Structure 1
Amino acid sequence: MYELLEKAINSTDVNEKENIIKKIKIIPATDKKAKFFEKPSYTSFCKIVPPAKVPRRRGFETNEKKAVLLHAIVHIEYSAIDLALDAAYRFRNMPVEFYKDWLEVAEDEIRHFKLINNLLEKTGYKHGDFPVHNSLFEASQKTQDLLSRMAIIPRWYEANGLDANEKIINRLQKYNDPFANEVINTLEIILKEEIPHVKKGDKWFKWACEKENLNPIETYFQIVDNFFKDWKKKDLNVAARLKAGFSCDELNILSGKKVC
């Protein structure tokens, strides 16, 4: 089964990834170590640039501006597929529920990718037509242990996605554009379904903390401080983050003010 997971992670075809997931039934215990992936699966069809060089998402008035926004989102969804698969592949001898959770997340992310990709293709563009950054992949490379992976990928990056999704929806609502409404409806579906993804990460982060007798809040911010030397406080989607497992104490620290 680990060979199938590795094949799915390396595949550039989302449909192939989906078909492989359907073949995986039970992930057995093993003493064999996971492979360290040197490059993301999208290397062959995406130009990777530093984050500052990625096209800025400004406006929604032209097909190109629509495509730039949708391309950024579709690339995140594509990356999220591989991140979920990597969690199931990388962390060995975990409870059966762990693998069930991350394979479910991978299936959801495939569906989200397809929803956004359909919208992107309506603009006349496709995934790979604009440069992308590989920050999420680099984060996966730097989080090879369960505790830091669950803290940084679901509880930082994906939780930030809950905030960003809400902001994009609010921004698009000012456009009197049927296509904008279609994007909003899709983003609302994704936002609702991403909350359980973050909650799964929250569950396994706290599971790892309990196993190591660590305080979850202190441990979370220690990892975040080590990973992001100058992270800034931000506006949060408080309601979504609470549903995803964050405590008020954490949200007050993250926002730099009392939000709940």
Structure 2
Amino acid sequence: MTDSVAAACRAVLLADEPRAKVRLARAAARAWRRGALAYRFDAAMPDVPARPDRPELLPPNRMPKRGRGGSERGRAAMLHALAHVEYSAIDLAFDVAGRFGAEFPRRFVDDWLSVGADEAMHFAILDRRLRVLGGGYGTLPAHAGLWEAAAATAHDAAARLAVVPMVLEARGLDVTPATVARFEAAGDAPSARILHRIYTDEIRHVGFGAKWFGYLCANAGIRPAPHWQQLVRTHFRGQLKPPFNDSARTRAGLTRDFYEPLVAG
């Protein structure tokens, strides 16, 4: 029997070793593209994905300060934090496809498995860059709370799309251009190019979130922006804070009428 897309997604989530997770993510995306995975959702997604022994995961208030990336050590710490975000994003992409794919057309799975392949590539190139700088993923502690948003929205596709791509990933659009500029100012052009490539891909990822959130709202006959605001108030534990990269957000379909009403005063 042909493996199902849900089983392939579950296998990615249960891979605890980073290279294995990257390999399985890329293989699942390729298999889906060539029609080798059945459009079946016969495997449950785990409540929590498997994690490697390293890095040590710490709560946000125990994370060491990274600085602003001026020193080589500070840049390496920032790249490590970003690598952890991308590692977690692999799981987020495959989880949303495997957990909610049955509620959407096949194009939903097309989009999110392509995102998962992108995130695997992002992690791999960041890890490779860290090794050039004398480290590698797992050599520093990392944030323990990145899966919290997925756990809080595991029951509701609209809530997941509202919070993960349309809040958390959209925040990356706001902060990455300044980070790229700091790396360039420090003379670290290779790292700056990697971050710019990731930034370009993330615009598309946020766009997938906005597109499929809009699909759900259209099917339910409700206005997207007010519904998004309600879901964010309910399921997102932080606050939306300016400055916003309005142009990148608009390119992704996340217009100001969504987020401006929620801006912290």
Give me the whole-angstrom Cα distance separating, in 2, the residues matched to 1:45 and 1:142.
Answer: 25
Matched with 1:137 is: 147
Give me the whole-angstrom Cα distance separating, in 2, the residues matched to 1:110 and 1:58.
Answer: 26
Give the alignment of 1:54-69 within 5 angstroms.
Answer: 54-69=63-78
How far is 1:163 from its partner? 0.8
Contact 1:80/1:109 (CA < 8 Å) preserved in 2? yes
How far is 1:174 from its partner? 2.9
How far is 1:65 from its partner? 2.0
Give the alignment of 1:201-216 within 5 angstroms.
Answer: 201-216=209-224
Unaligned runs of 5+ residues in structure 2 are none
Give me the whole-angstrom Cα distance separating, in 1, the residues matched to 2:72 and 2:93.
Answer: 31
Matched with 2:51 is: 42
Residue 191 and residue 229 in structure 1: after superposition, are their counterparts in 2 closer, same or farther (change >3 A)?
closer
Give me the whole-angstrom Cα distance separating, in 1, the residues matched to 2:158 and 2:218.
Answer: 11
Contact 1:235/1:255 (CA < 8 Å) preserved in 2? no
Matched with 2:11 is: 7
RMSD: 2.1
SS in structure 1 of the partner of residue 114 of structure 2: helix
Letter aligned with residue 126 of structure 2: I
How far is 1:225 from its partner? 1.1
How far is 1:100 from its partner? 0.3
Give me the whole-angstrom Cα distance separating, in 2, the residues matched to 1:235 and 1:218.
Answer: 21
Residue 206 and residue 112 in structure 1: after superposition, are their counterparts in 2 closer, same or farther (change >3 A)?
same
1:113 partnered with 2:117? no
Give me the whole-angstrom Cα distance separating, in 2, the residues matched to 1:195 and 1:22.
Answer: 22
Give the TM-score of the pair, scaled to structure 2: 0.87
Letter aligned with residue 122 of structure 2: H
Residue 90 and residue 128 in structure 1: after superposition, are their counterparts in 2 closer, same or farther (change >3 A)?
same
Matched with 1:189 is: 197
Q: How many residues align?
A: 252
2:160 to 149, 155, 163: 149
Contact 2:228/2:258 (CA < 8 Å) preserved in 1? no
Give the TM-score of the pair, scaled to structure 1: 0.89
SS in structure 2 of the partner of residue 105 of structure 1: helix
How far is 1:215 from its partner? 1.4
Matched with 1:217 is: 225
Residue 141 and residue 195 in structure 1: after superposition, are their counterparts in 2 closer, same or farther (change >3 A)?
same
Moved more, 131-140 or 224-233: 224-233
Contact 2:80/2:136 (CA < 8 Å) preserved in 1? yes
How far is 1:170 from its partner? 2.8
Give me the whole-angstrom Cα distance separating, in 1, the residues matched to 2:126 and 2:67.
Answer: 18
Contact 1:162/1:191 (CA < 8 Å) preserved in 2? yes
Residues 30-75 of structure 1: per-residue CA shift (max 9 Å, x gap): 4x473342x3332432211101222322143544322211100111
